[in-house]
A and B are shown apart, each in its own frame.
Chain A
Amino acid sequence: MSEVENTDVSVANEQNDYVEDGKNKLVVKCKFCGSKILDKKSAKYIELEKDLPLMQQDNNRKEGEIQNEPITEFYHVENMYTFENIGFTHTVENCKYLSCADCDAGPVGFYDMDTKQSYVAISRIEHA
């Protein structure tokens, strides 16, 4: 896992119109139902590499197989109570997956049991 925080964020800021001062400029919502996940300016932009299971797994996949995709851009949430609305799954290999509290779509990110930090995958949410 490679973490790029604070120092390199300024570069990302110029590329993303949804990041301001290293934080989410806009409200973070569920892509599917619009449920409010994070208030604006409540989470830090961070680049790290993490494989997340696909939100919709192929029905024809092999039994027990999980289809993943690598994600590189996240919002880092230090305190879980910063979330407006969110679901935490049961623990799988030291991590809990995050899901929409209203429609249960997910994973929209993950929670690290060791560090107690949450990460929201930017490609899996909507800004508003």
Chain B
Amino acid sequence: MAKTYDYLFKLLLIGDSGVGKTSILFRFSEDAFNISFISTIGIDFKIRTIDLDGKKVKLQIWDTAGQERFRTITTAYYRGSMGIMLVYDVTNEKSFENIKNWIRNIEENASADVEKMILGNKCDLEAKRQVSKERGEQLAIEYQIKFIETSAKDSLNVESAFYTLARDIKAKMEKKQEASNPAGARSGAHQIRANEQQRKPTSWLSRCSLL
């Protein structure tokens, strides 16, 4: 199969139960499909294709609903993930305090260079708010992680959060590629094209073997 994209990033949604991780991945809208077959089974992961500075990027986004206890999310779960969305609920103080525990869990189990971002979800519920935006920002500064408040319900900032995380992963990867191959750094674009050409015979062969 010809590779039709430039990058593939595996992303995880992490955070306490009830903070809205599933709503970030799954719309659960009040309209036609609320009673649908799909909503009763639930979504495991989604594949999304985005354009980042002219590059085609595939995001595979995984929910961790039902496995929220720190100890149950271990190395196997984090394997291969390049980005993690740490989600808390702005109306739930405890979920915010637990972000620190989640970060520790990631440090112990995930790859050291995994890109992280903190999301303060449910920011539409202003009357019930327990965690101010400033405290979210302060925590993010402390850990040097990017932060944004989101509302999955109103689709506020969710998409831009994924773009931000994906852009940071891409930048990190390109930096690494340049470091490991300084000679090719100047003509990076040409190199990628050359790689694609090399892949083409493989695609032809794989199609052939299916006949």
Contact = CB atoms under 8 A, between A and B. Distances in A.
Interface of A: 6, 32, 36, 39, 42, 53-57, 59, 66, 78-92, 96-97, 99, 101-107
A24 B33 CA distance: 27
Interface in B17-35: 26-29, 32-33, 35
A55 B39 CA distance: 11
Given A87-B43, A103-B29, A81 B38 contact: no
Interface string B1-29: 10011001000000000000000001111
Interface residues of B, number: 27
Contact of B38 (A32, A85, A91, A106): A106
Contact of A86 (B8, B41, B46, B211): B46
A82 B28 CA distance: 25
A96 B45 CA distance: 10
Given A85-B48, A88-B46, A105 B33 contact: yes
21 contacts: A32-B32, A39-B4, A55-B33, A56-B35, A57-B35, A57-B36, A82-B4, A84-B47, A86-B47, A87-B45, A88-B44, A89-B44, A92-B41, A96-B44, A99-B38, A101-B48, A103-B27, A103-B29, A104-B28, A104-B38, A104-B39
Contacts of A107: 37-38
A42 B8 CA distance: 17
A88 B38 CA distance: 10
Contacts of B47: 80-81, 83-88, 101
Contacts of A91: 44
A55 B42 CA distance: 14
A19 to B, nearest CB: 16
A79 B45 CA distance: 15
B49 interface: yes
Given A42-B4, A56-B32, A105 B38 contact: yes
B58 interface: yes
- Secondary structure type dominating chain B contacts: mixed
Most central of A86, A99, A102 by chain B CB within 10 Å? A99
B32 to A, nearest CB: 7
Given A6-B211, A86-B47, A89-B44, A106 B5 contact: no
A90 B41 contact: yes
A82 to B, nearest CB: 7
Most central of A81, A87, A97, A106 by chain B CB within 10 Å? A87
A88 B35 contact: no
B43 A104 contact: yes
A7 B35 CA distance: 41
A32 B36 CA distance: 14
A7 to B, nearest CB: 9
Nearest to B58: A81
Contact of B43 (A92, A99, A105): A99
Contacts of A101: 46-48
Contacts of B27: 102-104
B41 A97 contact: yes
Most central of A53, A57, A83, A90 by chain B CB within 10 Å? A90
